[in-house]
Amino acid sequence: MLWLLWLVPALPLAGFAILFLTAGRLKKPAVAAIGVGSTGLSVVFAFIVTGAFLAAPPAGHAYHEVLWRWIAIGHFTPNVALRLDPLSLIMMLVVTFVGFLIHLYSAEFMEADEGYSRYFAWLNLFMAAMLVLVLAANLLLLYAGWEGVGLCSYLLIGFWYRDPANGRAARKAFIVTRIGDTAFILGIIYLFLSLGTLDIAALMDRARQAWPVGSGMADLAAALLLGGALGKSAQLPLQTWLPDAMAGPTPVSALIHAATMVTAGVYLIARTHVLFMLAPPVQLAVAAVGAATLLLAAFSALNQHDLKRIIAYSTISQIGYMFLALGVGAWTAAIFHFMTHAFFKSLLFLAAGAVMMRIGDEHDIFRMGGLWRRLPVAFLTFLAGAVSLSALPIISAGFYSKDIILLAAWQSGPSGPGLWAAGFVAAFLTALYIFRAVFIVFFGPMHTTPTSRYGWRIVVPLSILSVLALVGGLVETPAWLGGIAAFSNLLAPALPAYRGMAAGSAAQATVMAVDAFIAVFGVTIAYFAFLRRPALVTRLVTAPAARALSRFWLAGWGFDWLYDRVLVRPFVGLARLNRGDVIDAFYSGVAFANCAANKLLSETVNGRLRWYSAWLAAGSLAAIAIMMFA
């Protein structure tokens, strides 16, 4: 049954093709049936394939399926080929399942929109591209999926195209990620020219044999791939596009800008982890970028007024945790956190969307308040997401994944305590900022009155995701909670196991206890600061220094300001300056000189005898003078 694998990306692609070619002529129920149905079938086939894979694992725990020959020139023979191994299996399951739930939610959420068909066309295309990305057997096809999801991200951020601000946000996302992608494509070229293949499995084998640990070639290759990962996963210094990407419809933010696409960088690094293990400086850079990003983004999240921007910064921060995990070699922990994050972060977005759609699309948390009574479904599901994001011990999926990451960071050699400290402080901030949102949005005085009700297509995805956000982490638990290792065992053939310190050591127990405590502490502080004694916070943030700092954080640490001055304005200025093409001015000059010379010479042909004889005389004199003096 494994050969059915191609259907998993093909079905959403077919959905896209139908919706694109009918160009909006279908009725809305038909659109929803195609859009949601194709993804639903894709989930079914993903489960069938998974079943077949687990029941009888293929040789080497990887199934390779060549669909057709893409390019074959000499030794350069990348195929359109899929590869299913435990890593891509988990990615495929999460992408299809969460993707399907978000499609279902969208069917109701977007029902009143005039662009219903266009919306599902792009969303289906996104699913196809994302599945190609995770299932690709070679880097070139992976890059095709990579760019495909980038395109869909662009199309969906700018979905409401009438507002130029949305278009600007969409372009920003495409251009900023394209900067990283260009590094990525150069990395692909470099890898092929150095190792002679682009097939990922063969590439990793050859790299392992050809390059020693610490070789400059491995450093370069890994660094170029990292460039691509930084852009797509919105890590420093290419993180600026993601908060603006919230201009798109909320389910899009949940699917693309939280659960799936933005974690593609994490997947890429995990997929090519051999290269990063051969390049310790680059791997350390991954950890450092992750630590810096998760901290910076957490501070920014603390200051936002816009509910979606809070969650967006939180996404940047949580992907920072995944990068931290990759950087310290806790590969499975990164993928584990990807999975739990996909559950709780898409849940947070969908719940936030459920709140905002009922109060006239209000985004400002300070104009909400007291909504828990009127919107119990949204409240409970958002709360489940917040609990999981804060990593409250035992009862949340986020706890299990974040716990491993912090522990691994602590144990990762000389820089370990520093990396851990960043993650630890951000863990506190995470609990603080998300419960700030919970308390301000759902408690306190009411500022708005919600309207209408939810249908099943919104309630069901929210409920399923809530359950997963709470218990989805139980596939991998620490020793004192049963020591389940189903997740890392499944991934073992694809990713090296993390070799931490022996379970049960005193240091480990201490670190884990502190990590668990900090989340609870953060929630408690949030409760006092934002619900019980808001006056305290008000007084704190109105101090001049605090206000400046707050504005700085609100603006995302001034990156936009900096890039605008250093890159955007010089580029636009230069382009405007040379709008008329300076090269053309040269040719115009030549043409002008010719015309002028023509005019000048025509002047001499004026038919006046005296004029001619004068010139004759002058010429003769000149000739005599030259003869005499030369």
Partner 1 sequence: MLLAWLIFIPALGGFLAWPGERLGRDMPRWIALAALAAELALLIAIWAGGQGGTWLAETDRPWIPQLGIAFRLDLDGLSLVLILLTIGLGILAVAVSWNEITERVGFFHLNLLLTLAGVIGVFLALDLFLFFFLWEVMLVPMYFIIAVWGHERRVYAAIKFFIFTQGSGLLMLVAILALAFAHRAASGTFTFDYFALLGTARHSAIGFWIMLGFFIAFAVKLPAFPLHSWLPDAHTEAPTAGSVILAGVLLKTGAYGMLRFVLPLFPEAAAQFAPLAMLLGAIGVLYGAVLAFAQDDMKRLVAYSSVSHMGFVLLGIFAGTALALQGVVVEMIAHGISTGALFIVVGLLQDRLHTRDMRLLGGLFAKVPMLSAAGMVFAIASLGLPGLGNFVGEFLILLGSWEVNLPLTIVAALGLITAVIYALVFVQRALHGEPRDAAILPDLGRRETAVIAVLMAAILWLGVYPQPLFDTAAPGLADLRHPQAVHAAPAARAP
User: Applying CB under 8 A, which residues contact partner 1?
Assistant: 20, 23-24, 68-76, 80, 140, 143-144, 147-148, 151, 154, 158, 161-164, 167-168, 170-171, 174-175, 178-179, 181-182, 185-186, 189-190, 192-197, 206, 209-210, 571, 574-576, 578-579, 581, 583-584, 586-587
Q: Which residue number, 182 or 550, has a Cβ lying nearer to partner 1?
A: 182
Residue found by looking up tokens 């997401």 in the block: 385
Pick 175 or 460: Cβ nearer partner 1: 175
Of 48 and 186, nearer to partner 1 (C-beta) is 186
| Tokens (6 digits) for 618 | 């002058």
Please report how close the Cβ of residue 29 comes to partner 1 at its closest, in angstroms.
Answer: 21
* Least distance between partner 1 and beta carbon 168 (Å): 8
Q: Which is nearer to partner 1, 249 or 398 (CB)?
A: 249
| C-alpha 553: how far from chain center | 21
Q: Which is nearer to partner 1, 209 or 602 (CB)?
A: 209
Q: What backbone phi and psi angles, to 5 degrees, belong to 453?
A: -135, 165
Q: How far is the CB of 243 from partner 1 (least distance, A)?
A: 19
**Can you say whether residue 95 is alpha, beta or left, with left for phi > 0 and alpha for psi between -120 and 50 degrees?**
alpha
Q: CB 187 → partner 1: shortest distance, Å?
A: 11
**Nearest residue (CB) to partner 1, 480 versus 587:** 587
Nearer to partner 1, 35 or 461 (CB): 35
| Least CB distance to partner 1 at residue 232 (A) | 14
Q: Please give the Cα distance from 628 to 630 (Å, whole number).
A: 6
Determine the Cα–Cα distance for residues 416 and 573; give it in Å rounded to an integer: 45
Nearest residue (CB) to partner 1, 151 versus 554? 151
Within 527-606, residue ranges assigned H as helices are 534-541, 544-554, 559-563, 569-577, 582-604
Residue closer to partner 1 (CB basis): 178 or 447: 178
3-state secondary structure of 238: coil
Residue (167 or 418) nearer to partner 1, CB: 167
As measured in angstroms, the least distance from the Cβ of 255 to partner 1 is 20
Burial class (CB in 10 A: 0-12, 13-18, 19+), 17: middle
Angstrom distances, CA of residue 446 to CA of 5, 380, 433? 50, 17, 20
Encoding tokens for residue 496? Answer: 């090296």
Q: What's the chain's length in residues? A: 630
Residues 6+ apart with CB under 8 A from 161: 167
3-state class of 451 per DSSP?
coil
121 versus 441: smaller Cβ distance to partner 1:
121
Residue from 263, 546, 312 nearest 434 by CA? 312
Token output for 595: 């015309």
H or E segment at 63?
Answer: strand 63-69
Task: Quote the tokens at residue 606.
Answer: 């004026």
Return d(Cα 437, Cα 314) in angstroms, integer: 12
311 near 349, Cβ under 8 Å? yes
In eight-state DSSP terms, residue 160 is S
At its nearest, how many Å lie between partner 1 and the CB of residue 575?
4
What's the Cα-to-Cα distance from 131 to each of 190, 341, 464, 545, rounded to whole Å? Answer: 25, 18, 22, 48
Which tokens hold the place of 569?
């304005």
**Tokens describing residue 61:** 């725990």
- The H helix count followed by the E strand count for the chain is 27, 2
Give the Cα separation of 251 and 226 in Å (integer).
Answer: 28
The nearest distance, CB 40 to partner 1, in angstroms, is: 24
For residue 172, how many C-alpha atoms fall within 13 Å in the half-sphere facing its CB? 24
Q: Which two tokens stand for residue 236?
A: 């420093």
Smaller CB separation from partner 1, 453 or 579: 579
CB of 253 to partner 1, least distance (A): 20
Using DSSP, state whether 236 is helix, strand or coil: coil
Output Rg (C-alpha) for the chain, integer angstroms: 30
